[in-house]
Amino acid sequence: MKVVYFLVAILALTSSVVSAYDPSPLQDFCVAAKEKDGVGSNVTQVFVDQLPGLNTLGIGLARIDFAPKGLNAPHTHPRGTEILIVLEGTLYVGFVTSNQDGNRLFTKVLNKGDVFVFPIGLIHFQLNVGYGNAAAIAALSSQNPGAITIANALFKANPPISSEVLTKAFQVDKSIIDYLQKQSWYDNNN
């Protein structure tokens, strides 16, 4: 009997109180909000860098969330064509053709369920013209389509592009280029 008491005493001294439970399921359905940038949109990318399983599959995905009047600034994907479907809201979208085609602008106002295609390498944009939030899914024909936001590339280059180059290219005073280079440019990609 002494052995039983001894074993119970040892067990009691070496044991800790353990409590285990599942966390509240409320968090399973919580959607984290990202900080808004200066243009009122947020792009959440799913490319090979975020999901290595996309390697060699030739596809990528992005979700674009827009605040009212939010803009996905003019940009290009040098390695992928984009097809966009509107999940909610109303978007004004467009792209500009190449110099050889006269830089023609193609635009359309899209509503929930509408689809639009942006050809590979062409500058394009999306603007929320509705009164509420908007959201869209972009599917791209590359696991790594790249994204070049035009304003960032020109005015936030590292090191900066010479003011002389930009002044001549845009045919404006140097003070305007200096002003633009001092601005906070957002790439809105996460």
Rounded to 5°, the CA angle 163-167-172 comes to: 135
Residues 127 and 107: their CA atoms lie apart, in Å, by: 11
Backbone angles phi, psi at 137, to 5 degrees: -115, 130
Both ends of the chain: CA-CA distance in Å? 67
Q: How much is the pLDDT for 68?
A: 96
124 labeled binding residue: yes
Query: Is 77 marked within a binding site?
Result: yes
Q: Is 82 annotated as a binding residue?
A: yes
pTM for this structure?
Answer: 0.78
Cα(39)–Cα(12) distance, integer angstroms: 62
What is the model's pLDDT at position 82? 98
* Domains in the chain, CATH or no CATH each: 36-148 (2.60.120.10)
pLDDT at 25: 46
Report yes or no: 26 and 98 within 8 Å, Cβ to Cβ. no
Q: Is 117 helix (H, G, I), strand (E, B) or coil?
A: strand
Residues of the chain scoring pLDDT < 70: 7-37, 187-190
User: Would you state the structure tokens that stand for residue 101, as one six-digit string?
Assistant: 């085609």
Cis peptide bond prior to 159, omega within 30° of 0: yes
Task: Find the largest Cα–Cα distance for the chain.
Answer: 100
Instruction: Express each pLDDT in 51-86 by its tens digit.
Output: 999 888 999 999 999 999 999 999 999 999 999 999
